């Protein structure tokens, strides 16, 4: 590199947390949420972009506002006060078409009602980005299954790993996954980890942690309507076991290739059908006895 980078790399008046750097044509572009000085909440600003040459990270360029959402697909205001939606941590990916045309997709993590799965696109990495997945039946809603703080990866790979918080929350996302791993942690352990983290990293008091846990965290968890164990069993007995009978699924093809056998061996795994059947039967009987 020609010159040494230094911190803070942005002006002292600029607040771009949750930054995602991406290199395009010799420049690094930084995308993130946008806090405002003395703001009453997080992420009140529209998305802005800053960029710099990869070989000179001391001289950053302000590329301006690249995305804001204040109107629906028909041009009507989304919010009565005319303000744009709250936009949390985003991500951007580049898609190259067979003819070489480059399109940039922005996943804005829109916190507006029924717009969290929003996607926008642009012809340039510095925008401007426009929404491309408005619901044709509802101009104020966007289709999609992407949720909180998305991380998007486009790679020509046979296996893609998806991890993070709330990964299994949306059924549309769960249906796209061939194999799922769920880790059950005792609620007491979760609370102890929260207390330790918030005191050490956030300077909070034990009283404030307990109050937040009892007033928001625990009620929202119980509001799900089913325990995490029940959801994990549903995924294990349905989404994981059943795909093993789909020949083009890696859950089926990889073990067969390792064993050096063909798809006729699937007949000997017929007992796997009993796992979801028994699970569904148990659920049906338990509902009748309630």
Cα torsion angle, 153, 159, 164, 165, sign: positive
pLDDT in tens, 115-136: 878 899 999 999 999 999 999 8
Range 246-282 burial, b when 16+ CB lie within 10 A, else e: eeeeeebeeeeeeeeeeeeebeeeeeeeeebeebeee
Give all domains of the chain, ordered by start, each with its CATH number: 1-176 (2.115.10.20), 178-223 (no CATH), 231-290 (no CATH)
Burial of 180 (0-12, 13-18, 19+ CB in 10 A): middle
CA separation, residue 99 to residues 24, 103, 120, 152, 249 (Å): 18, 12, 21, 23, 30
Answer whether 0.85 is exceeded by the pTM. no
Question: Which DSSP helix (H) or strand (E) runs through 104?
Answer: strand 102-107
Work out the pLDDT band at 231, boundaries 50, 70, 90. Answer: low
> 42 or 205: whose pLDDT is higher?
205
pLDDT in tens, 169-196: 677 777 777 777 777 777 888 889 889 9
Average pLDDT over all residues of the chain: 80
pLDDT at 67 over 90: yes
> 56 or 242: whose pLDDT is higher?
56
> 36 or 122: whose pLDDT is higher?
122
Average pLDDT of span 52-81: 91
Work out the pLDDT band at 1, boundaries 50, 70, 90. Answer: very low
Fill in the DSSP letter of residue 225.
Answer: S
């Amino acid at each position: 590199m020609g010159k040494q980078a230094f911190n803070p790399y942005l002006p002292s008046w600029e607040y771009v947390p949750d930054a995602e750097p991406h290199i395009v044509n010799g420049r690094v572009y930084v995308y993130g949420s946008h806090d405002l000085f003395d703001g009453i909440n997080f992420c009140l600003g529209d998305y802005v972009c800053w960029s710099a040459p990869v070989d000179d990270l001391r001289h950053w360029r302000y590329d301006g506002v690249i995305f804001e959402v204040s109107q629906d697909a028909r041009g009507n205001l989304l919010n009565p006060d005319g303000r744009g939606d709250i936009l949390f941590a985003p991500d951007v990916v580049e898609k190259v078409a067979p003819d070489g045309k480059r399109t940039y997709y922005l996943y804005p993590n829109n916190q507006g009602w029924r717009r969290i799965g929003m996607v926008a696109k642009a012809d340039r990495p510095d925008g401007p980005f426009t929404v491309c997945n408005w619901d044709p039946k509802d101009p104020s809603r966007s289709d999609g299954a992407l949720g909180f703080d998305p991380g998007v990866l486009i790679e020509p790979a046979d296996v893609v790993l998806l991890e993070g918080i709330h990964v299994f929350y949306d059924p549309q996302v769960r249906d796209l996954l061939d194999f799922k791993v769920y880790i059950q942690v005792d609620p007491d352990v979760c609370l102890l980890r929260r207390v330790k983290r918030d005191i050490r990293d956030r300077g909070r008091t034990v009283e404030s942690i307990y109050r937040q846990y009892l007033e928001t965290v625990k009620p929202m968890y119980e509001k799900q309507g089913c325990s995490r164990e029940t959801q994990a069993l549903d995924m294990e007995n349905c989404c994981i076991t059943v795909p093993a009978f789909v020949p083009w699924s890696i859950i089926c093809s990889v073990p067969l290739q390792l064993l050096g056998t063909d798809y006729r061996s699937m007949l000997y795994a017929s007992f796997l059908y009993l796992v979801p059947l028994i699970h569904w039967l148990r659920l049906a009987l338990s509902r009748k006895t309630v």
